[in-house]
Amino acid sequence: MTVQLVGEYRALQQMAREFCEQEIRPVAAARDRIKDPAKVFDWDLVRKGSALGLRTLAVPEKFGGPGVDLMGQALVILELARGDGGVAKTFSQCWKWTPMLTELATKEQRELFLPKFMEDDTYLLGLGGTEPDAGSDNRWPPDDPRAGWKTSAVRHGDEWVLNGMKHFIANGGVAKLFVIMARTDPTVPISKGTTMFFVPSDTPGFRFGRRHDKVGWRFYQNAELIMENCVIPDAFRLGEVNKGKTQRRDDVAGFNDVELVANVLGMAQAAYEYAIEYARNRVQGGKPIINHQAVGLMLADMYMRLEAARAYLFRVVEGSMEQGHDYDSASRQLAKVFATETAISVTQKALEIYGGAGIMKENPVEKLWRDVSVFPHLAADSVQILRTVEKLP
């Protein structure tokens, strides 16, 4: 394995690091503490990041973007999440759905939406899948019409009428374009009866419901999407009817796993850095606490786990880049489970090293601990594990 940070990668990493230090870190803690979840979001930060190309990082060169590959994306997320995991995810959520616009969309759809995405520095992307009664069922669908999303799309000539409600939707409340997963055949399981639609957020009949108030990762917006007789032209249908679950949609192999792994490890790295700095400066028992075995052992353990998880991340990046969608998916999917456990362990130890000060909001580690606590349910760890069982070597 040859992971060399040469040329462009180094420059990208440096750019993201500077954005983290100069723009994210100075505001992240104060933003996190705002009570109203909608007000945590900072458009100014989005505009500044957009100006650096962070929002459109994944747009291929042939469409006028920088076309940063998976390795570059992982490096940028690691750095941004060191400042705030929610800010990093706000940007990378756009990368996640970029292939919808550039690869899966028709030429007409691409020409309609892509220029807006490229030019409007507040144009964010999202996808609506989850509903109150359809969580894990969407990821590990029982082969039964009763399970999974219920939001419906009914065809009337050249139009579709969408009705239903999505919740916990990422970039909900702030994105200008969503891909909505809707049931177009309720008599069959979602794997056979789902169609995808582009739905601009200003479409009549489409609105945002509640903004969700989360324990951590609060910068990253989640909201309800409500569709009441929301009429969409057939021209906005993405892909074929009833093929929404089966056609390939993430053309960047490995992205979904790498994105989350890099994010949670970026946050864990920050917790480690704060903890070791604190341990070198905090004196109890007549010496810096890092020189007490109890604390020294914890820091070495944190570093060891971070190193292991980072090595795993880069193995998945390299495997995905070399073998594409053929890359051994058990090892790819389990990386997120491992990284989440790593980050929970590391941030908890950081909390303990800070002692009583750790739980105080004036110090940085409690936020990182809360932020990381959001991770086990993302992409549903237990479902991820179960799905890999039959793929185990």
Site for another protein in 373-392 (CB under 8 A): 373-374, 376-377, 380-382, 385-386
- C-beta closer to another protein: residue 198 or 220: 220
Selected binder of another protein within 25, 110, 212, 243 (CB under 8 A): 212
**Residues 255, 166, 148, 338: is their CA dihedral positive or negative?**
positive
* Distance of closest approach, residue 322 Cβ to another protein, in angstroms: 32
Q: What is the DSSP string of 57-98?
A: TTS-GGGTS----HHHHHHHHHHHHHH-HHHHHHHHHHHHHH
Are the beta carbons of 180 and 6 closer than 8 angstroms?
A: no
* Residue 157 is a binding residue for another protein (CB under 8 A): no
Per CB under 8 A, does 147 bind another protein?
yes
Nearer to another protein, 1 or 294 (CB): 294
Size of the residue set binding another protein (CB under 8 A):
50
Closest CB to another protein among 7 and 285? 285
Q: How far is the CB of 303 from another protein (least distance, A)?
A: 17
Determine whether 341 is exposed, middle or buried from the number of CB atoms within 10 Å of its CB (0-12, 13-18, 19+): middle
CA end-to-end distance (rounded Å), the chain: 20
Judged by CB under 8 A, which of 233, 277, 355, 391 binds another protein? 355
Locate 156 and state its tokens.
């009337």
Identified binder of another protein from the candidate list 3, 11, 51, 215, rule CB under 8 A: 215
C-alpha span between 189 and 185 (Å, rounded): 8
**Nearest C-alpha neighbor of 42 from the set 60, 57, 30:** 30
**Does 216 interact with another protein (rule: CB under 8 A)?**
yes
The dihedral formed by the CA atoms of 186, 179, 241 and 118, expressed in degrees to the nearest 10: 180
Among 57-65, 99-107, 305-313, 354-362, the segment contacting another protein (CB under 8 A)? 354-362
Q: Which of residues 282-341 bind another protein (CB under 8 A)?
A: 283-286, 289, 294-295, 298
Dig out the tokens for 348 from the structure: 């908890």
The phi-psi region of residue 104 (left if phi > 0; otherwise alpha if psi is between -120 and 50; otherwise beta) is alpha
Q: Rule CB under 8 A: which residues touch another protein?
A: 33, 35, 130, 133, 135-137, 140, 142, 144, 146-147, 168, 212-217, 283-286, 289, 294-295, 298, 344, 348, 351-352, 355-356, 358-362, 366, 369-370, 373-374, 376-377, 380-382, 385-386
